[in-house]
């Protein structure tokens, strides 16, 4: 595997980070919502990588090496030695279509020789929990999935997916990697701690939360946020919910995507089931950076001694809000674990997809650093 990277900024245009690979078969691109929506960048990439398929999404921040930018485009080209891949894309008709859309996407990928799936989804019109259930139900046993939900710079309005040179809205795309040569590792950690009273979900519908302990969920959330409530939904990223379903030992973290003042409801990236107990969460700089290191370490556990050649980082936009001007330190923490060899790319997301640590069940995560590492043997 050979990997190269180009970065576009409004000030400097395209700049080489590594030498271009004219024979690249695949380009993975992450971009700010404004430059990504102008498809001129795809024509530019086709001129450099004429044989490559383009796959990517809009973001809430772009990662190139240890740099984190806004309103840039990071294009990472891959020239495989023997690994092959297949792109698949489905339309997301509505929120309730999420599980079926995941199933349809999985069935579009030929199953013979499938080694791993990387998924990018619309970040605004999806129930991520249902999406991963649909994917898991229709993929071969042992084939794992990683990826994330697209962003739009914290606007929470519209996100873009690109697959096979076409820019799409309300879509989900996947890339399936095939063959025995591809080596994939993954890891996902958050670093957030619960605080405050435990409450029970008494009314919800999928990923829309209406009531906690019989009271308006939105009113309760606003009372917790205080002065931060004026900035909803963006400020809610600083205080996600820890959710524990009835009968489950483990917990999940959920971030708010939208609020409905009239209905008094909160829309989350994944399920918020009735009967589950919830608690607010918070974090600090050291916890977030330490979790990034832990995710990087986990992502190397199944790789050969030579290590990764490419690292795909999907980090929650909420972490970006915590780290602020020191955002690059979590990416530097990842590089310190992975070493100087792998090319690093990625984006800040509205949700992360990765198997759980405890039992490898595919899950939608929030507020994590999720890392997928790739190499060929």
Judge whether residue 180 has pLDDT over 70.
yes
What percentage of residues in the chain have a pLDDT greater than 90? 82
What percentage of residues in the chain have a pLDDT greater than 70? 100
Q: What is the mean pLDDT of the chain?
A: 94
Three-class DSSP category at 206: coil
Helix (H) or strand (E) holding 329: helix 328-338
The answer to whether residues 41 and 68 touch, using CB atoms and an 8 Å cutoff, is no
Per-residue pLDDT of 118-171, as tens digits, reads 999 999 999 999 999 999 999 999 999 999 999 999 999 999 999 998 999 999
| Residue showing tokens 């271009």 | 20
The predicted structure's pLDDT at residue 116: 98
Say if domain 193-282 classifies as CATH 2.40.10.
Answer: yes
Distance CA 15, CA 93 (A): 38
Distance CA 114, CA 112 (A): 6
Query: How many Cα atoms sit within 13 Å of 331 on the Cβ side?
Result: 28
Whole-angstrom Cα Rg for the chain: 19
Q: Per-residue pLDDT averaged across 82-87, rounded?
A: 98
The predicted structure's pLDDT at residue 236: 86
Q: Per-residue pLDDT averaged across 294-323, rounded?
A: 92
Per-residue pLDDT of 11-64, as tens digits, reads 889 987 777 788 999 999 999 999 999 989 999 999 999 999 999 999 999 999
Per-residue pLDDT of 213-232, as tens digits, reads 999 999 999 998 888 888 88
Judge whether residue 305 has pLDDT over 70.
yes
DSSP labels, 140-197: PTT-EEEEEE---TT--S---EEETTEEESSEEEEEEEESSSEEEEEEEE---EEEEE
Query: How many Cα atoms sit within 13 Å of 277 on the Cβ side?
Result: 13
Q: Select from 8, 314, 344, 28 the least CA-distant residue to 163.
A: 28
Distance CA 144, CA 372 (A): 11
Judge whether residue 249 has pLDDT over 80.
no
Q: Select from 76, 85, 307 the least CA-distant residue to 183.
A: 307
Judge whether residue 299 has pLDDT over 80.
yes
Confidence of residue 358 (pLDDT cuts 50, 70, 90): low
The predicted structure's pLDDT at residue 152: 97
Confidence of residue 306 (pLDDT cuts 50, 70, 90): confident
DSSP labels, 26-91: EEEEEE-HHHHHSTHHHHHHHHH-TT-EEEEEE-SSEEETTEEESS-EEEEEEE-SS-EEEEEEEE
Residues 6+ apart with CB under 8 A from 236: 221, 225, 255, 256, 259, 266
Q: Where are the domains of the chain?
A: 2-189+286-376, 193-282
Q: Per-residue pLDDT averaged across 280-304, rounded?
A: 92
pTM exceeding the 0.85 threshold for the entire prediction: yes
The predicted structure's pLDDT at residue 93: 86
């Amino acid at each position: 595997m050979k990997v190269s990277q180009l970065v576009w900024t409004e000030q400097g245009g395209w700049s080489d980070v590594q030498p271009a690979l004219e024979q690249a078969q695949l380009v993975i691109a992450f971009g700010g919502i404004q430059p990504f929506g102008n498809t001129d960048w795809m024509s530019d990439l086709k001129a450099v990588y004429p044989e490559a398929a383009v796959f990517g999404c809009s973001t809430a921040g772009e990662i190139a090496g240890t740099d984190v930018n806004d309103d840039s485009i990071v294009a990472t080209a891959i020239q495989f030695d023997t690994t092959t891949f297949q792109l698949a894309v489905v339309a997301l008709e509505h929120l309730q279509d999420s599980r079926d859309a995941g199933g349809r996407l999985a069935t579009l990928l030929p199953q013979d020789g499938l080694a791993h799936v990387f998924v990018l989804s619309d970040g605004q019109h999806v129930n991520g929990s249902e999406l991963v259930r649909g994917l898991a139900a229709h993929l071969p046993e042992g084939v794992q999935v990683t990826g994330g939900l697209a962003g739009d710079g914290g606007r929470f309005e519209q996100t873009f997916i690109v697959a096979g040179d076409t820019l799409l809205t309300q879509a989900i795309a996947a890339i399936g990697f095939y063959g025995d040569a591809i080596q994939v590792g993954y890891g996902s950690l958050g670093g957030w701690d619960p605080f405050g009273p435990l409450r029970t979900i008494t009314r919800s519908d999928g990923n829309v939360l209406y009531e906690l302990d019989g009271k308006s969920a939105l009113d309760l959330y606003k009372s917790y946020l205080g002065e931060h409530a004026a900035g909803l939904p963006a400020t809610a990223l600083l205080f996600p919910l820890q959710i524990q379903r009835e009968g489950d030992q483990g917990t999940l973290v959920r971030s708010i995507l939208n609020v409905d003042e009239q209905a008094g409801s909160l829309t989350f990236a994944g399920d918020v089931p009735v009967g589950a107990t919830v608690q607010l969460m918070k974090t600090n700089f050291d916890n977030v950076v330490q979790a990034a290191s832990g995710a990087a370490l986990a992502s190397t556990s199944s790789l050969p001694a030579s290590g990764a050649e490419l690292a795909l980082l999907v980090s929650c936009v909420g972490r970006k809000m915590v780290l602020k001007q020191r955002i690059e330190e979590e990416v530097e923490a990842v590089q310190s674990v992975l070493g100087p060899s792998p090319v690093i790319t990625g984006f800040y997301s509205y949700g992360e997809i990765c198997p759980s640590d405890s039992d490898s069940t595919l899950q939608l995560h929030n507020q994590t650093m999720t890392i997928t590492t790739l190499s060929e043997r």
